[in-house]
Structure 1
Amino acid sequence: MTHDQLTRNEMLRLMAGAAATCALSSSVRGAVVPADGQTEGAKVASQMLKRPIPSSGELLPVVGLGTYINFDVAPRSAEYARLPAVLDALFASGGTVIDSSPMYGRAEATTGELLAGTKARKPFLATKVWTSGREAGIQQMTQSMRLLRTERIDLMQIHNLLDWRTHMPTLRAWKAAGRIRYLGITHYSPSAYAEVEAVMRSEKLDFLQINYALDDRAAEARLLPLARERGIAVICNSPFGGGGLLRRLRGTPLPGFARELGATNWAQLALKFLLAEPAVTCVIPGTGNPTYMAENAAAGSGPLPNAQQRRELIKLAG
């Protein structure tokens, strides 16, 4: 089996997990609904935290938006019609990071279309190169810029390390020319973490995007400490562990300290758990629901759990 075939098979597994996440109802998220019927977490966050990108010092809002599955929708569909409000909720909270990929079907095109129709603040656009060969990579990245309707990508990432040795010189040349601002790598599988670590040690990277969740903490062992050591910003994808985490916590009472952290549901606690890790720069939960986007963004403001509270959350997550 080739690397490309493996990646495509892995993608199918990821799609199944992401689809389960998309199907979660507000009850699965463990929302605490006050008497007025509005989920408190849906209210606009007062002040989203920002963290510096180590390689530049630029401040980045800590909660962004992933476009996997939810933005791969047809224009004029009901799902598409909800997405402008999702972006409004992101920007209203102070968030800017929007992450996509050619792997995500129509997500790049949808993102570009919606951003062209808004006068909101400038987003921090991140996407990926996901193909083999130098010329194919250049063509794909050029297509991504066209679909996203931009002349410059903030962050270009080599998706799942596919043909990374070929793409890295191109990314460096594009960064020097100002076509991209930052470069990075991504992966989701612990079986590839040894290779991820080797690339982190051998290459000068601005970003690492990796799976990290309350119930998926394999990155804590070596990758997160190495990111701090090497000055690499970390973006956390799949912050709800593919959806299983929130399903398992359904019906479990929130811990007593949730209120002091400003968390009103398990999704917010799961995000705050990640943001309490100093190596983490940004989390990118995916959603096509404006209320969920506002709730997720609200997790980026207020206090974060301390070490004891993080240990308690790990126990509750099983």
Structure 2
Amino acid sequence: MTTLSLPIVRRRLTQLSAHLVVAVVALVVIGGATRVMEAGLACPDWPLCYGTLLPGKQMNAQVFLEWFHRLDAFIVGMALLVQAIVSVVWRRLLPRWMPWLSLALVGMVALQGGLGALTVLQLLPSGIVTAHLVLALTLVALLSGLTQRLQQSVGVSAPLWWRGLSLLALVAVIGQSLLGARMATTWSAQRCLSGGGACQWVSLHRTTAMPVAGVVLVFVVVALLAGGWARRQWPLLAFVSALVLGQVALGITTFRLGLSQPYVTISHQLLAALLVAVLAALAARCPDQPPVHSPVVVDGTTLETCHG
């Protein structure tokens, strides 16, 4: 079933969910840029910035990053609230799980806002900053999977191996991102490169990088070899492969440059967020329901007699 054949309410929610995926990925990247540019405390108060909605005299690159990060988070929260209200009001036209998931997403973004406040009020504690990123990536995964499910009105379950490998790859990537966040928020990489101390997080992140990439690539290879519906997902599978290879290359480049190029680090986090979004979309996909062919019933009374 195509998207155009879905009820208009479901079609609009699909479009909103797709836009939210982009917005949350942007939120993750802006948050990463805020950390790399050491702008996490550029606005010393919360939820305002220097006591106003739009700081004027204090505005510079760092303040703008922190202020825009909060603005994007506010817009995402309002959009999720609208999605939840629409899902509850028109729940009869939607899957049973849609209102519950929408309300859960509102709760998660509220929790995310609370973690964002704690990162400022408690001066960027490593554990809270890491939890802030992991929750953001979880939102990316759920919204991406939600978008895929809303696009498919009727479908059959994907093969068990597809669901298992795709979810394993998704969890592995999120776990690797968690290690990277922990390494970054404790400044382990800088301390390790400069003085040789605090290298345990750096070593763990580098050690697990190749196995995680291997899990993702195994999923891609198995899907292509399986043929049929799985092989027809090759555009997204190829995109996943490119993201993994790019991520490995950026990770190596980041360390070789001694973390001196913030844009490389930000790109590294962008690819991680995109990888989570695409893997979640693949995990949520399912084959289209094959059409049911009704048997042709021939009414013998309407047929003329055939001689010879």
Aligning the two structures, in what range does the TM-score lie when normalised by the shorter sequence?
under 0.3
Higher-helix-fraction structure: 2
TM-score by length of 1: 0.23
TM-score by length of 2: 0.24
Larger Rg: 2
Higher-strand-fraction structure: 1
